[in-house]
Amino acid sequence: MNQKMNQKIDDFFEKIITVRLSDDGRAVNIIDQTLLPNEIKRVDLRTKEEIFGAIKKLMVRGAPAIGVTAAYGMAVLSRGIEEKDFASFRRRFGEISAYLASSRPTAVNLFWALKRMEDKLDSLEGEETDVIIKELYAEAESIRNEDIEKSRGIGEAGFGLLKEIREKKGRAPGILTHCNAGTLATAKYGTATAPMYIALEKGWSGGDMHVYCDETRPLLQGARLTAFELSEAGIDTTLQCDNMVSALMAAGKIDIVFVGCDRVASNGDSANKIGTSGVAILAGHYGVPFYVCAPDSTIDRDTPDGSGIEIEMRSPGEVREMWYEKPMAPENISVFNPAFDVTPADLITGFVTEGGVIRPPFRFRESV
Ligand code: MRU
């Protein structure tokens, strides 16, 4: 890869690091995503209430990023645990972990990361508190670094699909994505965006592909976050309202769909941002391949199918008035506002994972 291009991509990733430790190691430092794309503001989260609130309010969001935030959060908060004997320390740690776990119900990465921190703590019984805290920091750092490696793996596998389309059609692939499963939702490459970022790293120009971003009502993660980060990275990007997907597909603009995921049941049913299942139905109708991009930490082997995935319901205000100068609906109108929907496994062409592309029949029992 040309060095100038490499530098440009590194600068881009450096500019929008979603979550990291503060310089003094005593806070989780995040980009406040509610302010994007207008302002890139970093915020320190020091208390359990601040960490809980940032996840709940979507200041930090996206399944893997929530997991990394919770892991760093547990390391930071472990310093403040006053009880020093192991049993009491463990009890307090468990209480804080349960509190953070109650911030959002759907993304399994949150529970996965918290469990990993608890398992780490259990393996340290008998050690001095100082050693325990140091090891918890190291575990959180590993979770972040592993997320980067996993999304790189997803990117490599997804890039193979883009290359095939480009070779076969002799033009830039048209890619549709929904919500934000980008660098802002993870530690680095994103999941659904990873194939595009890896394409840049491999020397494609931003014009060698074209990404269509659903705006993603009601919280506009596609418009505010995905369109922002892809265009910042120099990738050809178009924004459309969610109800324009059928028209785009009918016009032959979309060769492939890449979406992220908050939880995959062991039969392949997949929960992702509200509207994803509609995109899958349309993709099936128009014969467009529909891929779910997800790391192993998003697979919930304890949930047999999508009916067991808890779907977060959010406030009516997000639909009635949020982002508008004046309310866009009658003040007390009843609102249906689930944050996610479940795409049935039979509408999914394949899963793009760090272990490669997985095709049906899906049976997620072992690691990918
Ligand atoms: O409510 P959000 O913004 O946290 O929803 C995020 C999504 O649905 C993403 O597509 C999903 O978490 C995958 S992120 C790599």
Residue nearest to atom 6 of ligand 1 (CA): 62
pTM, two decimal places? 0.96
The residue segments making up the domain with residue 32 are: 17-146
Which of 146, 164, 179 is a domain's end point? 146
CB under 8 Å to 17, separation ≥6 — which residues? Answer: 31
Question: What angle separates helix 48-56 from helix 86-101, to the nearest 10 degrees?
Answer: 20
Q: Do 159 and 138 share a structural domain?
A: no
Percent of the chain scoring above 70 in pLDDT:
99
Max CA distance (Å), the chain: 66
Q: What is the pLDDT of residues 214-243, one digit of tens each?
A: 999 999 999 999 999 999 999 999 999 999
The one catalytic residue among 147, 214, 255, 262: 262
For residues 36-52, give the mean pLDDT: 98
Residue 9 amino acid letter: I
Q: Do the bridges between strand 28-31 and strand 19-21 make them parallel or antiparallel, or are there none, so unpaired? A: antiparallel
Q: Do 276 and 141 share a structural domain?
A: no
For residues 69-93, give the mean pLDDT: 97
Distances (CA, A) of 150 to 71, 86, 179: 17, 33, 20
Mutate to test the pocket of ligand 1, among 176, 273, 300, 353 (most ligand atoms within 8 A of CB): 273
pLDDT for position 8: 84
Specify the DSSP class assigned to residue 296.
G
- 237: CATH: 3.40.50.10470
CA of 61 to the centre of ligand 1 (A): 6
Q: Is 210 in the pocket of ligand 1 (CB under 6 A)?
A: no
Q: Is residue 328 pLDDT above 90, yes or no? A: yes
Q: Is residue 11 part of a domain?
A: no
- The band of 367, judged by pLDDT with boundaries at 50, 70 and 90, is low
Q: Is 339 in the pocket of ligand 1 (CB under 6 A)?
A: yes
**Exposed/middle/buried for 354, CB within 10 Å: 0-12, 13-18, 19+?**
buried
Q: Do the bridges between strand 356-358 and strand 210-214 make them parallel or antiparallel, or are there none, so unpaired? A: unpaired
Mutate to test the pocket of ligand 1, among 179, 186, 214, 276 (most ligand atoms within 8 A of CB): 179
Sequence length of the chain is 368
Q: Do the bridges between strand 270-273 and strand 340-343 make them parallel or antiparallel, or are there none, so unpaired? A: antiparallel
Q: Is residue 1 pLDDT above 60, yes or no? A: no
Q: Is residue 169 pLDDT above 90, yes or no? A: yes
Estimate to the nearest angstrom the gap between the alpha carbon of 164 and the chain centroid: 26
| Residue 353 backbone dihedrals phi, psi, to 5 degrees | -125, 175
Determine whether 346 is an active site residue.
Answer: no
Mean residue pLDDT of the chain comes to 96
CA of 127 to the centre of ligand 1 (A): 37
